[in-house]
Amino acid sequence: MKLFTLYNLKGNVNTYLVGHESGGDALIIDPGHIDLFLLNLLEDNNYYIKSILLTHDHENHTKGVKTLMRIYEPLIYSKRAMISGYPSTTITPNSVLNLCGFNITVIEIPGHSDDSLVFRIRNALFIGDVLSAGKIGYTSNPIAKKLLQDNIKEKIFSINEDLIIFPGHGPPTTIKAEKEFSSFTF
Amino acid sequence: MFNSEICAISKCDAIKISGYKTCYRHIVNKKAFEVNILNYLNLNEKFLDLNITQFPLNNISIENKRFYSCKFSEIILTNVKFINCYFWQCFFDYSEFENCSFINTNIKFTCFAGSVFNNCNIESSDLLHTNFNGIKSDNFSITGADLYFSGFVNSSLHNTLFYDCNLKKVNFSKSIRKNVSFKQSNFGDAIFDNWDKVEEV
- Residue B20 confidence (pLDDT): 86
The reported pLDDT for the residue numbered B2 is 59
C-alpha A6/C-alpha B2 separation (Å) is 13
Q: How confident is the model over A17-63, as pLDDT tens digits?
A: 999 989 999 999 999 989 999 999 999 999 999 999 999 999 999 99
Q: What mean pLDDT comes out for the span B130-159?
A: 96
Domain tally, chain B = 1
**Domain extents in chain A:** 2-181
Strand-pairing partners, residue B178, are: B158
DSSP conformation letters of A81-133: SEETTEE-EEPPTT-EEEETTEEEEEEE--SSSTT-EEEEETTEEEEETSEET
pTM for this entry: 0.91
B197 has a pLDDT exceeding 50: no
ipTM of the complex: 0.90
Percent of chain B surpassing pLDDT 70 = 94
Q: How many other C-beta atoms can be found within 10 angstroms of the C-beta atom of residue B22?
A: 16
Domain with B104 in it: 49-194
pLDDT bin (cut points 50, 70, 90) of residue B17 is confident
Domain presence at residue B26? no
pLDDT of B24 reads 85
pLDDT exceeds cutoff 80 at B1: no
**Residues in chain B whose Cβ is within 8 Å of chain A:** 1-4, 6, 13-15, 69, 89, 91, 93-94, 109-111, 113-114, 129-131, 133-134, 149-151, 153-155, 171, 173-174, 195, 200-201
Length of chain B: 201
Which among A2, A168, A183 has the least Cβ separation from residue B154?
Answer: A183
Please name the fold of domain A2-181.
Metallo-beta-lactamase; Chain A (3.60.15)
Mean pLDDT for B12-35 is 86
How sure is the predictor about B196, in pLDDT bands with cuts at 50, 70 and 90? Answer: very low
Asked if residue B172 belongs to a domain, the reply is yes
CATH code of the domain containing B116? 2.160.20.80
